[in-house]
């Protein structure tokens, strides 16, 4: 099932539980605006190359639309649409004053030189600058883009509109990026896990963790869990999977990954088959790499008691059903990985105020937002007698629906 079908299915189930009027339901589902632009640039060898760029602005009832821009050869409008919709519900779940958006350019960033990437980013910005804005739509990095891409967007946008650091988040700190943004999604995953475990009288320090993916989200989540006394017993990345029953030395592993480009051959662990990583004996499983990794083929063999969805959409709806029947508790992506967009919001606030926060303030505020959202989500589970995924969806959809109705329909 693709991401758009799964997201729309969860939305419709939430709309039914909330008893939403069918016209309101339809209006919430249809994107506010879909943008498709042609971007032609001269390549370094003098030839011309054309790419298609997208931006889907899904909903702005609660504030400016917010979401990443990805550079990937398979960027397709349906997926961008689903991801934009997910951002609307995600920003509402953590109660930050934003709507949802997503965008991208169909290109292979690895095959473009730095100057070609800069030209492409600037042309894309020229094509959409009138449709994004500090109070309209605020892009951020995503797959294949990074803080440098945001710096180019800031610069190009500022040529048209004056210096505007708040036009993007995930910027370099030297250009107004927030301290703590790099670790924010992983740190948010830890706060979310802490809040869930507390419901069962447990804490990070008495649990064994398995983490799939050791990039930005996975490595920060593992490091912060380790700092808080949790035992990370197995991790994987694209180079392989490793395990140590007594707990991996995460700071040493991070050093190894920096030097060797991956977790493979780490001395303090045994190597295992990456296919079995998700099925390892542990208490908490954190998929932090790709979508769809938990599916009907492997869900029945998962041994974890808790799954924290750090990646977007790691659990297929079929796996969701199998895991629920087994009694596995799943903390859904639209809450669990919302730490990144929450600190992006803090970055935007700092840029608008022209006053930068220290890292302790960023982390303390993040904890408040994640903990409060978990309590709100649990209340929705109680009200609607539903699981955590539906608790998160009803929470997000209800907030957006209320804002839409309050703003009214008059043309």
Which residues carry out catalysis?
A: 102
Count of residues that interact with ligand NAD, criterion CB under 6 A: 20
Burial of 107-146, coded b for 16+ CB within 10 Å and e otherwise, reads bebeebeeebbbbbbbbbbebbbeebbbebbbbbbbebbe
Q: Could you give the angle at the alpha carbon of 54 between the alpha carbons of 311 and 350, nearest 5°?
A: 65
Cβ distance 331 to 193 under 8 Å? yes
Interface region with ligand NAD, contact rule CB under 6 A, candidates 190-198, 248-256, 309-317, 321-329: 309-317
Segment interacting with ligand NAD, rule: CB under 6 A, options 57-65, 111-119, 148-156, 230-238: 230-238
CB of 143 to ligand NAD, least distance (A): 7
Please tell me whether residue 154 binds ligand NAD under the rule CB under 6 A. no
Contact status: 217 vs ligand NAD (CB under 6 A): yes
Q: Is 294 in the site for ligand NAD (CB under 6 A)?
A: no
Among residues 268, 265, 275, 274, the alpha carbon closest in space to that of 246 is found at 268
CB atoms closer than 10 angstroms to residue 48: 8
Contact 196, 189 (CB under 8 A): no
- What residues from 317 to 346 belong to the interface with ligand NAD (CB under 6 A)? 337, 340
39-47, 114-122, 310-318, 390-398 -> range binding ligand NAD (CB under 6 A): 310-318
Considering the complex, what minimum distance in angstroms separates the CB of residue 388 from ligand NAD? 17
Residues 299 and 322: beta-carbon distance below 8 Å: yes
215 binds ligand NAD (CB under 6 A): yes
Residue 225 engages ligand NAD in binding (rule: CB under 6 A): no
Q: Is 149 in the site for ligand NAD (CB under 6 A)?
A: no
Q: Which residue has the tokens 């610069």?
A: 155
- Contact set for ligand NAD, span 172-201 (CB under 6 A): 185
237 binds ligand NAD (CB under 6 A): yes
Residue 279 makes contact with ligand NAD by CB under 6 A: no
Of the candidates 216, 295, 324, 387, which one interacts with ligand NAD according to CB under 6 A? 216
Stretch that binds ligand NAD, among 94-102, 119-127, 308-316, 360-368 (CB under 6 A): 308-316
* Cβ atoms of 67 and 145 closer than 8 Å: no
At CA 111, angle to CA 235 and CA 116, rounded to 5?
120
Quote the CA–CA distance of 59 and 44 in Å, as a whole number: 38
Q: Does 32 bind ligand NAD (CB under 6 A)?
A: no
Per-residue CA distances from 246 to 238, 250, 339 (Å): 23, 12, 29
Token pair for 167: 């036009």
Of the candidate residues 209, 214, 348, 357, the single one contacting ligand NAD (CB under 6 A): 214
Q: Where do contacts with ligand NAD occur on this chain (CB under 6 A)?
A: 185, 212-218, 236-238, 274, 288-290, 310-312, 337, 340
């Amino acid at each position: 099932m693709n991401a758009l079908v799964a997201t729309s299915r969860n939305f419709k189930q939430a709309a039914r539980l909330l008893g939403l009027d069918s016209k309101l339901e339809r209006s919430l589902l249809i994107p506010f605006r879909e943008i498709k632009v042609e971007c032609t640039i001269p390549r370094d060898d003098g030839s011309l190359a054309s790419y298609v760029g997208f931006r889907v602005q899904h909903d702005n009832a609660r504030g400016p639309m917010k979401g990443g821009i990805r550079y990937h050869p398979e960027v397709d409008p349906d997926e961008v649409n689903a991801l934009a919709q997910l951002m609307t519900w995600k920003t509402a779940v953590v109660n930050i004053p934003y709507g949802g958006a997503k965008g991208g350019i169909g290109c292979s960033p690895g095959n473009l030189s730095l100057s070609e990437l800069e030209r492409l980013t600037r042309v894309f910005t020229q094509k959409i600058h009138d449709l994004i804005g500090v109070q309209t739509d605020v892009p951020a990095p995503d797959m294949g883009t990074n803080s440098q891409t945001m710096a180019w967007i800031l610069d190009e946008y500022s040529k048209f509109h004056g210096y505007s650091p708040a036009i993007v988040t995930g910027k370099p700190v030297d250009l107004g990026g927030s301290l703590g943004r790099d670790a924010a999604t992983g740190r948010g995953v830890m706060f979310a896990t802490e809040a869930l475990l507390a419901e069962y009288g447990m804490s990070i320090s008495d649990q064994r963790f398995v983490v799939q993916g050791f990039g930005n989200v996975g490595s920060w989540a593992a490091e912060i869990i380790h700092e808080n006394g949790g035992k990370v017993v197995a991790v994987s990345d694209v180079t392989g999977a490793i395990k140590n029953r007594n707990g991996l030395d995460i700071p040493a592993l991070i050093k190894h990954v920096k030097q060797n480009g991956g977790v493979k051959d780490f001395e303090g662990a045994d190597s295992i088959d990456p296919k079995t990583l998700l099925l390892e004996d542990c208490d908490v499983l954190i998929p932090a790499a790709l979508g769809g990794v938990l599916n009907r083929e492997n869900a029945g063999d998962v041994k974890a008691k808790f799954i924290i969805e750090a990646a977007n959409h790691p659990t297929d709806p079929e796996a969701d059903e199998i895991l629920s029947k087994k009694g596995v508790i799943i903390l859904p992506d639209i809450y669990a990985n919302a730490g990144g967009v929450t600190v992006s919001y803090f970055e935007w606030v700092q840029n608008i105020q022209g006053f930068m926060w220290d890292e302790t303030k960023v982390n303390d505020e993040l904890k408040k937002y994640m903990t409060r959202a978990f309590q709100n989500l649990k209340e929705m589970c109680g009200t609607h007698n539903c699981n955590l995924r539906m608790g998160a969806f009803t929470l997000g959809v209800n907030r957006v629906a209320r804002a839409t109705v309050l703003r009214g329909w008059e043309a």
